[in-house]
Chains A and B, each alone.
Chain A
Amino acid sequence: MQLRVRALETVLTEKGYVDPAALDLLIETYETKIGPRNGARVVARAWVDADYRARLFRDATPAIAELGYAGRQGEHIVALENTPEVHNMVVCTLCSCYPWPVLGLPPVWYKSAPYRSRAVADPRGVLAEFGVTLPPETEIRVWDSTSEIRYLVVPMRPAGTDGWSEERLAALVTRDSMIGTGLPKSPADLTR
Chain B
Amino acid sequence: MNGAHDLGGMHGFGPVEPEPNEPVFHAEWEKRAFALTLAMAMPGRWNIDMSRFARENRPPAEYLSMSYYQIWFAALEQMLKERGLVGDDEIAAGHSLRPPKPVERILSPADVAKVLYRGGPTEREPRTAPAFKPGDKVRAKVMNPRTHTRLPRYARGHVGVIARVIGFHVFPDSNAIGAGEDPHWLYAVRFDGRELWGPQGDPRSSVSIDAWEPYLEPA
Contact A147 B210 (CB under 8 A): yes
**Could you tell me the distance between the alpha carbons of A65 and B15 in the complex, rounded to whole angstroms?**
36
With A11-B91, A142-B208 already in contact, the answer to whether A17 and B117 are too (CB < 8 A) is: no
A-B contact count (CB 8 A): 268
A interface secondary structure, majority:
mixed
The answer to the question of B196 belonging to the interface, with a C-beta cut-off of 8 Å to chain A, is yes
The answer to the question of B100 belonging to the interface, with a C-beta cut-off of 8 Å to chain A, is yes
Return B112 CB to nearest CB of chain A, in Å.
4
**Could you tell me the distance between the alpha carbons of A1 and B200 in the complex, rounded to whole angstroms?**
41
Partner of A120, one of B95, B106, B150, B207: B207
- Count, chain B residues at interface, CB 8 A: 95
The answer to the question of B121 belonging to the interface, with a C-beta cut-off of 8 Å to chain A, is yes
The answer to the question of A114 belonging to the interface, with a C-beta cut-off of 8 Å to chain B, is yes
Q: Chain A residues near B207 (CB, 8 Å)?
A: 120, 141-144
Q: Chain A residues near B201 (CB, 8 Å)?
A: 121
Contact B26 A95 (CB under 8 A): no
The answer to the question of A74 belonging to the interface, with a C-beta cut-off of 8 Å to chain B, is yes
Q: Chain B residues near A18 (CB, 8 Å)?
A: 36, 39-40, 43, 106-107
Contact B52 A95 (CB under 8 A): yes
Contact A8 B77 (CB under 8 A): yes
Contact B8 A117 (CB under 8 A): yes
Partner of A75, one of B14, B18, B121: B121
A to B CB contacts below 8 Å, 15 in the list = A7-B91, A11-B91, A11-B93, A12-B40, A17-B40, A18-B39, A29-B112, A29-B113, A104-B24, A105-B24, A118-B13, A123-B205, A144-B152, A144-B209, A147-B166
Contact B15 A26 (CB under 8 A): no
- Count, chain A residues at interface, CB 8 A: 78
| 8 A Cβ contacts from B26-65 to A | 26-29, 31-36, 38-40, 43-44, 48, 52, 55-56, 64
**Could you tell me the distance between the alpha carbons of A124 and B112 in the complex, rounded to whole angstroms?**
40
The answer to the question of A4 belonging to the interface, with a C-beta cut-off of 8 Å to chain B, is yes
Return A129 CB to nearest CB of chain B, in Å.
5
Q: Which 5 A-B pairs have the closest CB atoms?
A: A147-B210, A93-B8, A7-B94, A23-B35, A15-B100
Q: Chain A residues near B80 (CB, 8 Å)?
A: 8, 12
With A9-B36, A95-B56, A139-B206 already in contact, the answer to whether A107 and B119 are too (CB < 8 A) is: no
The answer to the question of B199 belonging to the interface, with a C-beta cut-off of 8 Å to chain A, is no
Q: Chain B residues near A17 (CB, 8 Å)?
A: 40, 43-44, 85, 100, 103, 106
